Amino acid sequence: MAVRDALSRGAVLDAAAELVRAHGPGALTMRRLAAELGCAVTAIYWHVGNREALLDELVARTVEEMGEIRAEGRTPAERAEAVALALRRKLRARPHLIALVHERGLTELMMLPAQRALVHEAHAAGLRGAAAAEAVRALQFQVVGFVLVERNRERAPAQHPGEPDLWTAETAEQDPELATSFAAAPDLDTLFRASVRGLIASLWEVRG
């Protein structure tokens, strides 16, 4: 990052958030942050306080950013899908920051705006009470669970190309197209949309 003539609180938070996004909370030291900003460590202390205060600021900012959810579409089902897509995108974009929020016991607060947006669409679809709560929670858990599976896949060791094929005509029950599909890496965006649409169709769209 270029040296800044006039360091601002926002610039410090932006640089700190980028360090955490890229390398995790352990990479965030005041000395490294000062090097990124091209300033003295004391200047960072003046703007945001010590490291713990800085982490608290990043958590508060992350909670605020996660609240910027828009429901777009013509029907409750379309708008619920849009919320799910936005929520997945935001969770995927800041995993280390989300972990910080979770460590501080603020996950429920962070998820509240998305939940409220989904409640609004559940009501618009004709759902009330326990049925609305079930529909919202099912979709929320689907999004969070899918993101966790994605993260685990990214961290998993690479598969060895020399391993025998797991899917053949026999194991695929004589369905060669299925075998070919399973042999290829999944299109996660398509898979996510399909799972979300199926869930919405079963719990929401039938009423909407």
Same-domain pairing of 111 and 196: yes
Full-model pTM: 0.82
- Please state the φ and ψ torsions of residue 28, each to the nearest 5 degrees: -85, 95
Q: Which parts of 76-175 fold into alpha helices (H)?
A: 76-93, 95-103, 107-124, 129-155
Same-domain pairing of 39 and 105: no
In the chain, what is the straight-line distance between the N-terminal and C-terminal CA atoms, in Å?
A: 50
Residue 4's contacts (CB-CB under 8 Å, 6 or more residues apart) are: 11, 37, 38, 39
**What CATH number is given to the structural domain containing 189?**
1.10.357
Same-domain pairing of 112 and 13: no
Q: Is residue 113 part of a domain?
A: yes
Q: How many domains does the chain have?
A: 2
Same-domain pairing of 98 and 195: yes
Same-domain pairing of 13 and 115: no
Decide: 33 and 44 in contact? Cβ < 8 Å: yes
Q: Judge residue 84's burial from the number of C-beta atoms within 10 Å of its C-beta, 0-12 exposed, 13-18 middle, 19 or more buried.
A: buried
Q: Is residue 1 part of a domain?
A: no
The domain containing residue 42 runs over which residues? Answer: 9-49
Tell me the pLDDT of the chain (208 aa) as tens digits.
Answer: 444 446 888 889 999 999 888 888 888 889 999 888 888 888 888 888 888 999 999 999 999 998 888 889 999 999 999 999 999 999 999 998 998 999 889 999 999 999 999 999 999 999 999 999 999 999 999 999 999 999 888 877 776 655 667 788 888 888 888 888 888 888 999 999 999 999 999 987 645 4
